[in-house]
């Protein structure tokens, strides 16, 4: 049996950059603990592989008004979005559930369908880029936008994400 994912990741990150501080949480993030864990951070990156966790992260970020950078992988395609989460001051800002209100019935996990390491590298690096932009104030984060990358055809496009007034998380 190998090391916990969090411990393996903490060790890998420390080897990459000894100047960073890593806090491990050896527990599954859920609707009960997400708020408490997320509250202390300036920005959150979500690359989880199930909608229950994504919805819990979204709700916690909304509650704490913490920007959320969301990345997802298909077999050969990737998605990237950023959500400002500064309600109620910005009523125009979409959240993750404005985009995905409910878990699709045909949702598949990376573990089930497989994922290409190169694709994870592309979307992961883009998530890092969005995070640096949000922290430093440089450029325009992908707030309210969805970046779609088609790996097989080498094409990408960006579409606008509208706030849904009937969103189960941020709707009125
Ligand atoms: Zn919403």
Give 87's pLDDT tier (boundaries 50, 70, 90).
Answer: low
Distance 68 CA to ligand 1 centre (A): 12
Tell me the domains of the chain and their CATH numbers: 31-160 (3.40.50.720)
Distance 138 CA to ligand 1 centre (A): 25
Give 107's pLDDT tier (boundaries 50, 70, 90).
Answer: confident
26 has a pLDDT exceeding 90: no
Determine the Cα–Cα distance for residues 20 and 127; give it in Å rounded to an integer. 18
Q: pLDDT tens across 33-59, in order?
A: 999 999 989 999 999 989 999 999 999
| DSSP letter assigned to residue 162 | P
What percentage of the chain has pLDDT greater than the value 90?
77
| Mean predicted confidence (pLDDT) in 128-134 | 97
13 has a pLDDT exceeding 70: yes
Residue the block writes with tokens 């592989």: 49
Residue the block writes with tokens 């001051």: 89
Determine the Cα–Cα distance for residues 83 and 142; give it in Å rounded to an integer. 8
Burial state string for 149-163 with b = 16 or more CB within 10 A and e = fewer than 16: bebeeeeeeeeebeb
Distance 83 CA to ligand 1 centre (A): 9
Give 171's pLDDT tier (boundaries 50, 70, 90).
Answer: confident
Distance 167 CA to ligand 1 centre (A): 5
Give 88's pLDDT tier (boundaries 50, 70, 90).
Answer: low
What's the pLDDT at 48? 92
């Amino acid at each position: 049996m190998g090391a916990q994912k969090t411990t393996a990741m903490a060790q890998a990150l420390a080897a990459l950059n000894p100047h960073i501080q890593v806090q491990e949480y050896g527990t599954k993030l859920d609707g009960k603990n997400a708020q408490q864990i997320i509250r202390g951070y300036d920005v959150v990156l979500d690359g989880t592989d199930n909608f229950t966790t994504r919805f819990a992260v979204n709700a916690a970020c909304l509650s704490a008004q913490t920007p959320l950078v969301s990345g997802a992988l298909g077999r050969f395609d990737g998605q990237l979005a950023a959500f400002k989460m500064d309600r109620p001051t910005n009523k125009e800002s979409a959240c993750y559930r404005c985009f995905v209100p409910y878990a699709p019935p045909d949702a598949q996990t990376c573990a089930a369908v497989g994922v290409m390491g190169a694709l994870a590298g592309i979307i992961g690096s883009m998530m890092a880029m969005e995070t640096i932009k949000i922290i430093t104030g440089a450029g325009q984060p992908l707030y309210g936008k969805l970046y779609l990358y088609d790996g097989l055809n080498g094409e990408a496009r960006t579409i606008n994400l509208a706030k849904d007034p009937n969103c189960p998380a941020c709707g009125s």
